[in-house]
Amino acid sequence: MPDMTNTDKIIKEKKIGLFDSGIGGYSVLGELFKLMPEASYYYVSDDANAPYGPKSDEFITERSFNIAEELIAHGVELIVVACNTATAASIDLLREKFKGIPFVGVEPYLNAYYIMPEGLEKKMMVLTTESTGKSERFKRLKERLDPDSQIDHYSLKNLARLIEDYYYHPDHKDQFEKEFENELSFLKSHHYAYAILGCTHYPLVRERIEKLLDLKAISPCSHVAQRVVDLTTIKNESKVSGQVPSKFYNFLSTSNNLWIQKNRESLHGPFKGK
């Protein structure tokens, strides 16, 4: 579910910025490629400071400010905080500091339970990182959207890190599969029908989660991407301009601190089609 507060400015440029503590925000970026292929994308992976989970809100906010300044320097006119933890810690302060820039955040799709048709099996849980689960923003969100506590909540300590490590080390598949199952297997006996994915890393392994736990996973990423579309005029402009979509996106790893171009087709790495 996109965080939609204070994002009413309609933008006309074709430069969109995104950031996450790592590559979790690729789950949002992939949806944006589908909806707005003509846009130019600038993605910052703050892997020099990952994971954000154990970090303080103050540290995450400082990093978010620095990354926002970097993206703005490259001419982006909308920034997606493609990280649940950073959204919870800093999006209000980002909007306060950078008043001319719309920020779109990511929050767990907690109203999913209440919009489903009656009569369905709706036993549901939400999976988050430890940091998101402890945040006041998440607690307030759950109180507001799940006032009857119909959705169980579990914080996963290692899953985001496992996904990040496997992305860069796909040759460690056997180790990843073993640790992935160890991280989630305690949930098998609960027989949930749905799992809300409350970290942008998690949709990258959506099908694996569904298969292991025999349920349907719910991701907010397509809704976040649609919110970005709603805040731009890019679709109409592209029809007029006839601009050919780029094959690349712009990527910055804070470990290397150098902007490079990456091929869009390789976005999901070892998780493509998984």
Report the DSSP beta bridge partners of residue 251. 43, 260
Examine the residue annotation and report whether 83 is marked as an active-site residue of this protein.
Answer: yes
Cα–Cα nearest to 126, from 92, 149, 160, 148: 149
Spatial neighbors of 270 by CB under 8 A, at least 6 apart, are: 166, 167, 170, 173
Q: How far apart are CA 215 and CA 147, in angstroms?
A: 24
Residue 66 token pair: 């620095």
Examine the residue annotation and report whether 221 is marked as an active-site residue of this protein.
Answer: no
| List 32, 83, 101, 126, catalytic entry | 83
| List 199, 228, 231, 234, catalytic entry | 199
E-state strands within the chain: 2-3, 15-20, 40-45, 78-81, 103-106, 124-129, 151-156, 194-197, 216-218, 248-253, 258-263
Cβ of 118: how many Cβ atoms within 10 Å? 5
Q: How far apart are CA 268 and CA 27, in angstroms?
A: 8
Spatial neighbors of 273 by CB under 8 A, at least 6 apart, are: none
Cβ of 181: how many Cβ atoms within 10 Å? 12
Positions marked catalytic: 83, 199
